[in-house]
Homo-oligomer: A and B are copies of this chain.
Amino acid sequence: MDNQITLVQKTVVISATGREEREETLAIEIPYKVALNDRDIGTSMVLATGLEEFGVGFLFSQGYITRPGQVREVLVCPEGRISVHADVEEDIEPKEVIITSGCGGTGKISKEMLEGAFDPLNECGISLDEVNQFIREMLQQSSLGPKTHCVHGCGLWADGRLQGFYEDVGRHNAVDKIIGGILLGKIPARGAVYTTGRLTSDMVLKCARIGIPIVMSRTSASSLGLAIARRAGVTLVAYARPGRLNIFNRPERIIC
């Protein structure tokens, strides 16, 4: 699919050198409705890339889809609809929901998910060299980031290479696209995730629920992001740069 994802606009720059016209590239933010088995679940603002993955990851984050193998078909209609057909209990209704702090669209997590127990993670260790290579590749992936300053990136590294990379106007959406990729069998559910966004509660929660043992961010974590990492046993790395990691939980999975 070839969706338009950026737009060039004329702007006026006022600075010490005076006033000049200039062109800026903007990320296109567009609403897409996600439906599950022909029932509308929600409409989210997204960057129109990886829409199949987004639809499935969104339904996972909202608690409708819970594991790989449930999704039968995903249809993307460019008019703004992602239609997912999946073998799930028909009357799943998210319990008491919490609106998240997240850039990125998922917007809600259930109280049950936030406070519930976690299944064991898909255990692994990664060498520091590999982690550094992962971060370096992540920083080179995005052409939209430096151009628009309006997207977040998320990638997954496993088996010695970058397995998937997605961008979105929302940091949550970018993670949802990775998770959708996992649920669709395009990306393995192991290894490490790197996001350019902050690790607030729901960011860590969705990675833990899908079984990813290492979650890294270019920037910070919140108190609740760390609390969830501790409960789930996730290795939480903040301010991750090539050559420098700040590990908030379970450092033993990064092998020096």
Residues of A within 8 A of B (CB): 7, 9, 11-16, 19, 22, 24, 26-31, 42-46, 96-108, 111, 114, 128, 148-150, 168-171, 173, 197-198, 200-202, 219-226, 238-239, 243-248, 251, 254, 256
Closest-CB distance, A98 to chain B (whole angstroms): 5
Chain B residues whose C-beta falls within 8 Å of the C-beta of A251 in the assembled complex: 12, 14
Cβ-neighbour of A43 out of B96, B103, B171 (below 8 A): B96
Cβ-neighbour of A11 out of B26, B97, B247 (below 8 A): B247
Copies, count:
2
Write the chain B residue with the least CB distance to A251.
B12
* A100:B107 contact, CB within 8 angstroms: yes
A231 CA / B65 CA spacing, docked (Å): 38
Write the chain B residue with the least CB distance to A219.
B149
* B101:A104 contact, CB within 8 angstroms: yes
Closest-CB distance, A12 to chain B (whole angstroms): 5
Closest-CB distance, A168 to chain B (whole angstroms): 8
Chain B residues whose C-beta falls within 8 Å of the C-beta of A248 in the assembled complex: 9, 11, 24
Max chain B CB contacts within 10 Å: which of A11, A111, A219?
A: A11
Closest-CB distance, A80 to chain B (whole angstroms): 10
Chain B residues whose C-beta falls within 8 Å of the C-beta of A170 in the assembled complex: 101-103
Given contacts A12-B246, A26-B226, A28-B222, 20 further A-B contacts (CB under 8 A): A11-B248, A13-B246, A14-B245, A26-B220, A26-B221, A26-B223, A28-B224, A29-B201, A29-B222, A29-B223, A42-B99, A45-B98, A45-B99, A101-B104, A101-B105, A103-B198, A107-B108, A149-B219, A149-B220, A150-B198
Closest-CB distance, A101 to chain B (whole angstroms): 4
* B101:A45 contact, CB within 8 angstroms: yes
Write the chain B residue with the least CB distance to A45.
B101
* A106:B102 contact, CB within 8 angstroms: no
* B101:A254 contact, CB within 8 angstroms: no
A207 CA / B221 CA spacing, docked (Å): 28
Chain B residues whose C-beta falls within 8 Å of the C-beta of A43 in the assembled complex: 96-99, 111
A111 CA / B32 CA spacing, docked (Å): 12
Cβ-neighbour of A105 out of B29, B100, B105 (below 8 A): B100
* A254:B103 contact, CB within 8 angstroms: no
Closest-CB distance, A201 to chain B (whole angstroms): 6
Closest-CB distance, A203 to chain B (whole angstroms): 11
Contacts A99-B42, A169-B200; is A19 near B220 (CB within 8 Å)? no
